[in-house]
């Protein structure tokens, strides 16, 4: 099975493979470092021409994670991934200072928060349309799931290769989907676009950041696969026995950093609109919503995988952040380079997992570093690919 048929069937393999990438603005550099190591490891196993998209049945992303998803899965003119994993970090270093240009001062920042988005979004829109062009969801090299939230209908709008193949009104341009998924309230403007099918039917989308629905899209990705056993969705066949059993899933979930800012009720009780939106350079209400959303998904996934005694099939890599590195939009040269270094150092941190009794993310003894875990994960992915490629 070559990459062009990757999103056709997984019935010949042992696992359903899922990659999930959180939202987090400039902190998308952190999972980029993890993905670079993973792709290099896969290339050592299977040759220099393989890429991340060759190994995952589904790649899911929210906001900045949605952008990384598109970069990994969108085809270039040779029907290979638009970006190698090693090139994503450079993309962030080159473009983040233009997407999130420096603001002039605290009072002016607050004024902008109260009267419009902090950033125009013009550069982000331009660069995404430049790279992704007229590529649509159905053209991705493997199945993708990208989360957004539609403020007109007040519901999550989940864009996926699965639905795009059967409903042309959801087969949107990848650039439009990524712009909508990253339109973080107060940071970037909400985004509107319209799709049209061959019969002239249209559908309107009024989108903001997918983090409103799921900053960590891991469960959405799993649910999208599982859903294929319940509905007639062309282009993806999964036996019910696989989709209902977590031992048949192999999931890599990448966080963009967990903010360790703390507050107390005595102080927060005095906050008004400005205090919750902008407090000492932080954005408490937005940070709390996105972080709690991501953590709840990790807790739910951990409970299910541990209940089925398949916890090693679910690898969540996350790091605690504080100070400038916890910012979603601080794009100074120093901060971006610090984030690159954090991502690389994270490889040598111990494997961690949610304690399902306390909900805390704790180091696990006996499983080595994230580098060790990713090396084992890469071997499992390689074995799965070889199994599918072997003659039946």
Report which of 127, 54, 43 is spatially closest to residue 91, judged by C-alpha positions: 127
Q: Which of the following is catalytic: 20, 63, 290, 352? A: 63
Instruction: Report the first-to-last Cα separation within the chain, whole angstroms.
Output: 11
Question: Rounded CA gap, 114 and 359, in Å?
Answer: 35
Where would I find the H helices in the chain? 29-46, 64-73, 85-99, 106-115, 122-132, 161-164, 174-181, 211-214, 218-227, 240-243, 265-268, 273-277, 284-307, 333-346, 370-389
Match 């499983």 to its residue by tokens: 367
Counting every residue written for the chain, the total comes to 392
**Number of alpha carbons in the 13 Å side-chain half-sphere of residue 334:** 2
> In angstroms, how far is CA 381 from the centroid of its own chain?
19
Buried b (16+ CB within 10 A) or exposed e, 77-108: eeeebbbbbeebbebbbebbbebbeeeeeeee
Is residue 383 part of the annotated active site? The answer reads no
Of residues 197, 137, 134, the one with CA closest to residue 161? 137
Residue 9 burial (C-beta neighbours within 10 Å; 0-12, 13-18, 19+): middle
Catalytic residue status for 63: yes
Distance of CA 19 to the CA centre of its chain: 8
Catalytic-labelled residue, pool 57, 150, 176, 209: 209
Q: What 8-state DSSP symbol labels residue 245?
A: -
Q: Which of 22, 38, 5, 60 is CA-nearest to residue 222?
A: 60
- How many whole angstroms separate alpha carbon 63 and alpha carbon 70? 11
- Give the SS3 label for residue 197: coil
Q: How many CB atoms lie within 10 A of CB 17?
A: 23
3-state secondary structure of 60: strand
Q: Give the whole-angstrom CA distance, residue 129 versus residue 179.
A: 9
Catalytic center residues: 63, 209
């Amino acid at each position: 099975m070559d990459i062009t048929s990757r999103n056709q069937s997984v019935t010949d393999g042992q696992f359903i493979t899922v990659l999930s990438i959180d939202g987090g603005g400039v902190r998308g550099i952190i999972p980029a470092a993890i993905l670079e190591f993973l792709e290099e490891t896969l290339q050592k196993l299977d040759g220099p021409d393989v890429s991340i998209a060759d190994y995952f049945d589904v790649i899911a992303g929210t906001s900045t994670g949605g952008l990384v998803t598109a970069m990994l899965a969108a085809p270039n003119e040779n029907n290979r991934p638009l970006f190698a994993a090693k090139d994503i970090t450079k993309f962030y270093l080159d473009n983040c200072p233009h997407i999130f240009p420096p603001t002039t001062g605290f009072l002016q920042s607050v004024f902008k928060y109260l009267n419009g988005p902090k950033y125009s979004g013009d550069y982000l829109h331009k660069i995404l349309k430049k790279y992704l062009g007229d590529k649509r969801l159905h053209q991705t090299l493997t199945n993708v799931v990208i989360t957004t939230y539609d403020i007109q209908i007040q519901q999550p709008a989940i864009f996926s290769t699965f639905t795009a193949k059967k409903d042309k009104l959801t087969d949107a341009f990848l650039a439009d989907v990524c712009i909508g998924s990253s339109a973080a309230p107060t940071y970037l403007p909400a985004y509107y676009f319209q799709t049209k099918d061959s019969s002239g039917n249209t559908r309107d989308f009024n989108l903001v950041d997918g983090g409103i629905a799921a900053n960590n899209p891991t469960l959405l990705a799993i649910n999208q696969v599982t859903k294929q056993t319940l509905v007639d969705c062309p282009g993806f066949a999964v036996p019910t026995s696989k989709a209902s059993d977590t031992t048949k899933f192999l999931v890599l979930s990448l966080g963009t950093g967990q903010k360790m800012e703390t507050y107390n009720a005595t102080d927060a009780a005095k906050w008004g609109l400005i205090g919750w939106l902008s407090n000492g350079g932080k954005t408490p209400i937005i940070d709390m919503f996105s972080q709690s959303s991501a953590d709840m998904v990790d807790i739910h996934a951990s409970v299910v995988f541990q209940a089925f005694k398949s916890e090693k099939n679910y690898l969540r890599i996350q790091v605690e952040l504080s100070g400038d590195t916890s910012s979603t939009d601080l794009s100074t040269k120093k901060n971006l380079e610090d984030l690159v270094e954090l991502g690389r150092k994270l490889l040598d941190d111990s494997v961690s997992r949610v304690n399902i009794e306390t909900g805390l993310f704790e180091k696990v003894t006996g499983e080595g570093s994230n580098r060790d875990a990713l090396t084992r994960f890469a071997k499992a992915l390689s074995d799965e690919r070889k199994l599918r490629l072997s003659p039946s």
